Amino acid sequence: MSNGKNNHKKRIAMFSVHSDPSAKLGGHETGGQNVYVSELSKALGRIGWSVDIFTRLTRKRTKLVKAYGKNVNIIYIKAGPRYLIPKDKALEKLPEFVGNFLAYKEENKINYKIIHGNYYLGGWTAAQIKRILRVPMVETFHSLGHIRHRTLEKFEKENINIENFKERLIAEKEIMEAADTIIATNPPEKKDLMHYYDFDLENKIKIIPCGVNLKRFQKVNLENARDYINHFSKKDKIITYIGRIDWRKGIETLIRAFPLVSKRLPELSLNIIIVGGKIGKKGDPADKKEIARLKDIVKELKIEKKILFLGRRDQKKLRYYYSASDIFVIPSYYEPFGMTALEAMRCGVPIIASNVGGLSYIIQNRKTGIFFPPKNHRILARKIIELLKNKKLRNKLTKNAEVIVKENYGWNKIASDVSKLYQELL
């Protein structure tokens, strides 16, 4: 365990209650937040901050403290059962989490200079601890209850659980009152924060985007990439989706667009690969349910041989899947940021994306990517056809995108901006 001797003038407590940053990505409960906490903490560690990431203990471990890079530890805190539980069931376990965090802090004689909450679960935890310890608090929401509720009402009304949303919205308001600074990852998020919560947040909000690992995500030669994924020849055309398997990711829209594209371009050997989801014997029930629903649509459209569900892949290998693609599609109904857009742009693949949330900030229409309205498979099909037929446009998009990502979205730059924010608070 850590102890007082290792105390650091610049010590951060980072709360990511339901998202262990070291967990394998691609499952129902793992995604952008895991990457954000992992990469930001490591980058902060490299520039001299000491970061302890606190996450919920979900299985038996011999060690409750894991070294996770220079000046970074992951600390597992008991709160409820030692197995994964749905996010909306975790709120009631947070008082235990707070108590066990404080016990850990006292036992190890650690003084934290900043506490940083992530999502409303980590944020609520940080808000309670801020009141007790009286230290500055930063919050990154990753997604907002009001926006998620609005998206459900628009696209999946039958899935709304009003009670869960009431609890979440109360918690989010409490976090906003407690936080000294809220990091919005893009201007649309700042606008939503100010629009949906009934007090002035203007002076509390700082816009600092998410980033991308510039070393991990780099373009791979097409032939090498196709050889690695071992499914297609160089002549095939591949449209790719990478991300969580969730209804709000809009994968159905991409599947429904496929027959329209095939009909217009019958001369092409066209395929879709979908990367994500825990689909093995020990897979996630929510992932399996959504994939079963998507496969029913694939069967209905009679395109079973053209759609490949690959399950999740190690993040270190994703560059091969991006680089093997002719087009990368992000068809989300709601996307707080859209980190896969940065990864695809870095790997030199042209993007078509829903014009929603953070995507509308990352992507510049017809300069670094192409937009389409969410859940509109007919317009998506038209955009795919245009891009497949127009090599000059594809080259323009990828060239512009690569420059913008390299200049603005490396984690070292993001961590430097967050570090300046911490210093201001101290």
The answer to whether residues 232 and 103 belong to one domain is no
- The amino acid occupying position 395 is N
Containing structural domain, residue 107: 4-211+410-425
Given a contact cutoff of 8 angstroms between Cβ atoms, the answer to whether 110 and 7 are in contact is yes
The per-residue pLDDT for 84 is 83
Q: How many CB atoms lie within 10 A of CB 408?
A: 14
The answer to whether residues 399 and 416 belong to one domain is no
Q: What is the DSSP letter of 24?
A: P
Does any domain span residue 67? yes
The answer to whether residues 66 and 37 belong to one domain is yes
The per-residue pLDDT for 320 is 97
The answer to whether residues 193 and 256 belong to one domain is no
Distance of CA 225 to the CA centre of its chain: 24
Does any domain span residue 217? no
Cα radius of gyration (the chain): 22
Cα torsion 236, 397, 412, 211: sign? negative
Read off the pTM. 0.90
Pairing of β 65-67 and β 72-77: antiparallel
The answer to whether residues 125 and 151 belong to one domain is yes
The per-residue pLDDT for 6 is 46
Tell me how many domains the chain contains. Answer: 2
The answer to whether residues 23 and 130 belong to one domain is yes
Given a contact cutoff of 8 angstroms between Cβ atoms, the answer to whether 379 and 373 are in contact is yes
342-345 own/partner pairs: CB under 8 Å, 24+ apart: 342/210, 342/211, 342/212, 342/217, 342/405, 342/409, 343/212, 343/217, 343/242, 343/318, 343/319, 344/242, 345/369, 345/398, 345/401, 345/402, 345/404, 345/405
The answer to whether residues 177 and 287 belong to one domain is no
The answer to whether residues 140 and 22 belong to one domain is yes
Does any domain span residue 362? yes
Does any domain span residue 39? yes
As a whole number of angstroms, the distance between CA 201 and CA 178 comes to 12
Does any domain span residue 216? no
As a whole number of angstroms, the distance between CA 390 and CA 55 comes to 47
Mutual orientation of helices 162-178 and 145-155 as an angle, nearest 10°? 150
The answer to whether residues 74 and 206 belong to one domain is yes
As a whole number of angstroms, the distance between CA 101 and CA 84 comes to 19
Report the run of H or E that residue 372 belongs to, with start and end.
Answer: strand 370-372
The answer to whether residues 141 and 271 belong to one domain is no
The answer to whether residues 414 and 389 belong to one domain is no
What value, to the nearest 5°, has the Cα angle with vertex 33 and ends 15 and 142? 90
Report the run of H or E that residue 259 belongs to, with start and end.
Answer: helix 251-264
Given a contact cutoff of 8 angstroms between Cβ atoms, the answer to whether 241 and 254 are in contact is yes
CATH number at residue 160: 3.40.50.2000
pLDDT in tens, the chain (426 residues): 444 444 456 999 999 999 889 877 655 556 688 999 999 999 999 999 999 999 999 988 878 999 998 999 999 999 988 888 888 788 899 999 999 999 999 999 999 999 999 999 999 999 999 999 999 999 999 988 888 777 776 666 555 556 667 888 999 999 999 999 999 999 999 999 998 886 677 889 999 999 999 999 999 999 999 999 988 888 999 999 999 998 989 999 999 999 999 999 999 999 999 999 887 777 788 888 999 999 999 999 999 999 999 999 998 999 999 999 999 999 999 888 899 999 999 999 999 999 998 999 999 999 999 999 999 999 999 999 999 999 999 999 999 999 999 999 999 999 999 999 999 999
The answer to whether residues 418 and 402 belong to one domain is no
Query: How many DSSP H helices and E strands does the chain contain?
Result: 15, 14
The per-residue pLDDT for 309 is 95
The per-residue pLDDT for 234 is 84
Q: State the alpha helices, DSSP H only, in 88-217.
A: 94-107, 119-133, 145-155, 162-178, 187-196
